[in-house]
Chain A
Amino acid sequence: MRPRSILLSFSAAALSAAVLAGVATAQTAPALNLSPSQFPGILTGPLQVGPMTLLNGTQTDYRIRVFPVLLGQRRDGGIFVREQARDRRRAGRVVVVQTRRFGLVPGEARSVFSRVRRVPRSGSFHGGVLFQATPRVRPSDREQITNVLQLTASVLLDPITPRRRLRFATGPIRAESPEKGRLRLLVPVSNRGNVYQRVGATVVVRDGSGEVAARTRAKGLKILPGAVVDLPAVPKEKLPAGDYTLSATLRGAGSAVRARGSMRLFGVNEVATREARLTDLDSPTAYRGQEVEVKASFENTGNVAYAPEAELLVRQTGGEEPGKVALRRPMDVESAGPGEMGAIQTELELPGDARSYQLTVRLSAGGRTIDSRDVSVTPTERPPVLTRAKNWVTENALLVVAILLVALILGGIAGLGYVRRLKRASAPG
């Protein structure tokens, strides 16, 4: 074992020992606890990482599975676990865990070591070890909604100094008004190097004459290699309506990296903001060999009327994880004003003959994904006409009753009129 790995293991062991010692004397919350949950370090070569100690402070008997995983990062800086099978396989080529599964009864703690087998070609590894806890229950005791808990210990290993590559790129600076009178500038930064590095930015706003109207600092965020993160900067100044140019210089990027952009304010700190979120995506009814109608709705969370771009992605899920995108289809979107709802829909025939499909509706604005939702659909055989008619009547019972009622009233009125005419005709003289 190399000196670095010893240090990592030792510090981790000391910390987990401290946590367990604390557990022995203090009352713990009824939770599943993982400590240490972060292993930052330098990847000098194969090394041991751990121990990671999982403590069951609940009253539930758990079955634990342990996986090496890769981490990803959202544009707001939040870290997530890449859970797809191919990402797990990639992580497994670099990291192995000492124990893949074990039981954990209430009050029990168990420590697990993992080992980085080799240095990846990139020179760094930013992943983790995921602990998946499934309650061990008899089928008769099964609850309606059972909770599986997953906790991740992050293993964030930067490369050795000679292999460090600090490379950052930027995109055009965007401006948005998340609420009335509040301006936020977003500097998109892409980490193209191999170091998990904190990067900030200084943003300068110039008015039409080139004078500096505002100068602000974007909050520094640690960015994973391969991720694109928007660094947010909020100017203190109240900027009047007009055209502005934006420029930013990154801090912590290793070299001078700049970004540019422009914005047009239509009021004090008010910029046209195109944001939306999906509010509804119902499971469509799908019959084999027939077109499926996919309907969704969105809320315009921006401050101008617009129709976001929407796309439907279809993946086959025949008995395993969703595969690659088999079909992409642009969707029809109606325009909606700020705070209003709009409808999204399309019709398509599901590709292939899979048992089941995953449909993803993705909203985007200017090439940037702003929201997405998934829904599973399993095509069935089309029922006979009589059954469909019965279903239609049952589903539209109110409408049918209303139509019958209207028909009854109209019939009654017509009948009364006919009776009156008959009486008039049969009246003497």
Chain B
Amino acid sequence: MSPRNAGRAALLTAVAALALPAGAQAADSTSTVTGTVATELSLSVAAPAAMAFSHAAPATTSSLVTVTSTQTLWTLSISDNNTVTNAGKMLKTAGTGAAAVGTPLANALQWAPDATTFAALSGTPATVGTGTLVGEKTVTFKQALNATENVTAGDAYALTAKYTVN
């Protein structure tokens, strides 16, 4: 095909394409994908490492708490799950020592949202912190023994910490 004929053929093809009804054309179609952010609240709390209690110095451990939210303001609080007798204190759960199972340590478990400002844990929720959207808080725990406190090596003490986010 000569270059002139080729040009004519291309022109005719273009005119024919324009003359065809829209439905007969091989058209591109577009669709818009939309999405809306749902209201959501997630809570993740790492298990703190076990503490080794000593009369010499308070034992400490910490836990990383992650709140994932689509809300503009959330509040994270902490309390002892035990709100009755000996709230805030670690109770003996196992061991061969003289203290009976269920006996509390003399001092309440202390906690701090910033590793410095410690407060006794209690059955009443205390604010760890507030935030927006996604945030992390490190809760530090500290347990002290009294100088005269009778505890036996190997005895296990436990407490259930309750984290509430809303």
Please list the residues of chain A having a beta carbon within 8 angstroms of any beta carbon in chain B. Answer: 15-16, 18-19, 29-38, 57-58, 71, 74, 76-81, 83, 128, 130, 132, 134, 139, 142-154, 277-283, 285, 317-322, 355-356, 358, 360, 373-376, 378, 390-391, 394-395, 397
Contact = CB atoms under 8 A, between A and B. Distances in A.
Contacts of B104: 378
A154 B166 contact: yes
A132 B122 CA distance: 18
B75 A143 contact: no
B81 to A, nearest CB: 5
Contacts of B36: 15, 18
B143 to A, nearest CB: 9
Contact of A145 (B35, B41, B107, B158): B158
B84 interface: yes
A145 B38 CA distance: 33
B43 A376 contact: no
Interface stretch (B14-22, B25-33, B61-69): B61-69
Contacts of A19: 38, 40
Nearest to A36: B39
Q: Which 9 A-B pairs have the closest CB atoms?
A: A31-B44, A374-B122, A152-B166, A356-B85, A37-B41, A15-B38, A150-B164, A38-B39, A31-B42
11 contacts: A31-B44, A38-B71, A144-B48, A145-B61, A145-B159, A152-B166, A280-B118, A321-B84, A376-B122, A376-B123, A378-B86
Contact of B83 (A36, A58, A76, A321): A321
Contacts of B158: 142-146
A251 B40 CA distance: 30
A80 B40 contact: no
Contacts of A130: 164
A376 B85 contact: yes
A34 B75 CA distance: 15
B5 interface: no
Contact of A80 (B75, B108, B157): B75
Contacts of B40: 19, 33-37
Given A78-B130, A83-B125, A147 B89 contact: no
